[in-house]
A and B are shown apart, each in its own frame.
Chain A
Amino acid sequence: MDIFDILLQASFWTAAIRIASPLIFAALGELICERAGVLNLGIEGIMVVGAFAGWLTVYLGGGLWFGVGVAMLSGMAFGLVHGVLTVPFGLSQHVVGLGITLLATSLTYYCYRLALPEVTSPPKIDAFQPLEIPLLSDIPVLGPALFNQTPLTYLAFVLVVAVTLVLYRTPLGLALRAAGENPAAVEAQGLSVSAIRIGAVMVGSGFMAVGGAFLTMSAFNSFFFEMVNGRGWICIALVVFGSWKPGKTLLGAVLFAAFDALQIRVQQTPLGADIPYQIFLMAPYILSILALVVMSRRAQVPAALMVPFNKGER
């Protein structure tokens, strides 16, 4: 079995889309923050929070969608902290973001120990199940890949469309993008840059948390340490890869996930026997970096990204 056979398998593409889903949520969240001018390096920690909050809610008897809602709110709470510190107080977005990641991660592990002091192996929950869409899922290869996924994956794709519409077709999206390009232009029209930026960071952080919740509620079905495993950082790269555009970012997430799914499968072929497995583990990251180098050449960075806005300063 060689690589081309793998690429024609429906199960390969199903896995790729599944792996891509949390990345889509979180990258979309990061994109919203950055489009408003705030780099949110809290993403990694906020994903951990979301993963835990969603999982714990269901574990304690809450409904699955209720769990997603709790995850979203917990992410927004950390987003509020990030937004207040970086926007009105104008603190360094790097330092605040990394601080949020460290704080959120440790706090989550602490809460996990509080909630489950006795447990050694993480308990499972009844997670989201694949929802087959009739007719569409009968299309060869693409059908099962796109239309036999869990509801959260469908939500991720819907959100990409929704965010695109809001960003480019509504006054709100216009104001949000302008806040990331030239906040003075926003202020000159009597709108509040602070309100727009904090709101964007909160909603974006909520999306990141849902991305984390996908891991516990739609993929692994339980919570364990280190489960986010750098996915947040990948999402920051994906936003650059996607030139701060939702559609292209989605494409980047699927591409990365496909590399990841591919390396697992290639490891099991005769080719894989001769090469150390670490090479395969590295492959998606190396390919991502290469893709990033090519794609980010023409990327249009929001002009006011990471630039705090001080009213009245010229």
Chain B
Amino acid sequence: MTDQHPEAQVVLRLDNITKRFGKLTANDAISFDLRQGEVIALLGENGAGKTTLMNILFGHYTPDEGFVEVFGQRLPAGNPRAALAAGVGMVHQHFTLADNMTVLENIVLGTRSLWRPGFGRAQARQRIVSLMEDYGLRVDPDAQVGSLSVGERQRVEILKALYREARVLILDEPTAVLTPQETDDLFATMRKAVALGLSVIFISHKLHEVMAISSRVVVLRHGKLVAEAKTAETDRAAMAQMMVGSEVAAPVVRRADPGEALVTLAGVSTPDIGSAPGLKNVDLELRAGQITGLAGVSGNGQTALADLIGGLLRSASGTFHVKGNAPRGWSPHAAISAGIARIPEDRHKTGTIADFDLTENAVLELYSRPGFSRHGWMNWRAARDFAAKIIKGYDVRCPGPETRIRLLSGGNMQKLILGRVLETAPSVVLANQPVRGLDIGALTYVHEQLLAARDRGAAVLLISEDLDEVTALSDVIHVISEGRLSPPFARGALTPAELGVWMAGDGFEEAPHAA
């Protein structure tokens, strides 16, 4: 798609949108226009503010400042119905469909007054069928939604928007759940929509897709609009760099003194799980006294690697050694016993139990160790002392060990996890997105602690989407893309732009599909 009509009518205008959540500014004075027949790709990392912005646009949130204009009309803030009526259709990442109802019923829901006697099934079917033909969205209108594939469900969501005569389509990471074939179909639909005069905002962080479909790119970072460019006038490496930024707040790093390899992967592959790629023939060594950084856009196999080392996943092929042994019956328990400690990617979902107190959360992984339990009975006094020690040693701001962890801020929650991980003096630290969503103070603290663990002789694997973080902390960097792992690069061997090329998937020898 090229932008052939720069003078085309502005259909949607975001003016100076600002949204704050407490101290965090999720959107900071963002303005841009969407013109008719245009596809704008909204790029940014997790937490860059993309979803917040789209929720404001669709009326789920009220902005603190600024406004949204559709076809020259200012939208009342915080009113999804007004956005719908103005012709803004949104396809959320998580579908809002009823599984036990048919496609037709899902599409028609809410479009007619509840007190009308019938819902005009025949008429509705006719319109849906003609929409399907116009936009190339094939689904059986009488199928139960529960029996459809994810791609088909997405088509139903798009049909829902089109049925409500949307003129602007917002697609929130639509390809995250799709197979490559389904992605091609979606792009065909988007091209037809644009040809029929619609305009599209497409949220993604898959750069080759952005190149393929968008006419313009808008990049958000830390809530700010940092770049805006015509797709034709930029390239993947430049986009990758715009996304992750290059301003560095480097902690003071002492020289590393690498020791033996504690975890070794040779030619390891794991199966793809849904749309999440598995590892493809990966070689990796985690050495004692060294931070190994893993750079890459999220969803490229980081989860598979972290799960494999953490014991949640087993390799399908290749050799996997921990401290020189090929572990049998690899499990989280085995991993913990082998001295591998994890900072999980999602501290709310897998790191903590929200309604347990700090003591209980502190011993979640350790409760069966001697000292914390004996003959099957918990020693709560020891657990409480352990929690108190973490609270003191890691500066966890909280009323006390009996506080429910739900009440803590993200940073303090992460400090508790960090303490729980480091207090056991692990030989391997698996830090997956350890500073995501943290403010600068907590972030610096976590970084210092990871460096301290390294200096103590631990092997640290740092997984992050933030290229600055990876380059600042890591002694050795690998780049992961679509499950493939680059060779190790020493600190400073590559510029961020060169790393961006690897992150975009170029540079791999056996690239499965040339983009």
Interface residue ranges of A142-188 to B (CB < 8 Å): 169-172, 174-175, 177-178, 181-182, 184-186, 188
Known A-B contacts A184-B96, A300-B100, A303-B99; the reply to A174 vs B109 at CB < 8 A is yes
Interface residue ranges of B115-147 to A (CB < 8 Å): 115-119, 121
B106 in contact (CB, < 8 A):
yes
Q: Is the CB of A174 within 8 A of B119?
A: yes
Smallest Cβ-Cβ distance to A168: which chain B residue? B105
B94 in contact (CB, < 8 A):
yes
Q: Which of A169, A185, A190, A191 contacts B98 (CB 8 A)?
A: A185
| Tier of interface size on chain A | 20 to 34
Number of A-B contacts (CB under 8 A): 68
B511 in contact (CB, < 8 A):
no
Known A-B contacts A170-B119, A190-B80; the reply to A175 vs B97 at CB < 8 A is no
Known A-B contacts A169-B118, A170-B118, A171-B116; the reply to A303 vs B100 at CB < 8 A is yes
Dominant SS among interface residues on chain B = loop
Q: Is the CB of A185 within 8 A of B100?
A: no
Nearest CB of chain B from residue A310's CB, rounded to whole Å: 15
**Complex-state Cα separation, A174 to B118, whole angstroms:** 10
A242 in contact (CB, < 8 A):
no
**Complex-state Cα separation, A190 to B109, whole angstroms:** 10
Q: Which of A189, A300, A314 contacts B109 (CB 8 A)?
A: A189
Residues in A neighbouring B114, C-beta threshold 8 A: 171-172, 175, 191
Residues in A neighbouring B117, C-beta threshold 8 A: 170
Residues in A neighbouring B84, C-beta threshold 8 A: 190
Residues in B neighbouring A191, C-beta threshold 8 A: 110, 114
B81 in contact (CB, < 8 A):
yes
A185-225 CB contact bits vs B (8 Å, 1 = yes)?
11011110000000000000000000000000000000000
A45 in contact (CB, < 8 A):
no
| Tier of interface size on chain B | 20 to 34
B74-90 CB contact bits vs A (8 Å, 1 = yes)?
00000011001000000
Q: Is the CB of A188 within 8 A of B98?
A: no
Residues in A neighbouring B106, C-beta threshold 8 A: 178, 185
A302 in contact (CB, < 8 A):
yes
Q: Is the CB of B116 within 8 A of A170?
A: yes
Residues in B neighbouring A175, C-beta threshold 8 A: 109-110, 114
Q: Is the CB of B101 within 8 A of A171?
A: no
Nearest CB of chain B from residue A162's CB, rounded to whole Å: 12
Residues in B neighbouring A172, C-beta threshold 8 A: 114-115
Name 22 interchain pairs, CB-CB below 8 A, sorted by A.
A171-B116, A172-B114, A172-B115, A174-B105, A174-B109, A175-B110, A177-B105, A178-B98, A178-B105, A178-B106, A181-B98, A182-B96, A182-B97, A182-B99, A185-B96, A185-B98, A185-B109, A186-B109, A188-B96, A190-B81, A190-B110, A300-B100
Query: Top 10 closest A-B pairs, CB basis?
Result: A189-B110, A181-B98, A190-B81, A182-B98, A171-B112, A185-B96, A172-B114, A188-B96, A171-B119, A184-B96
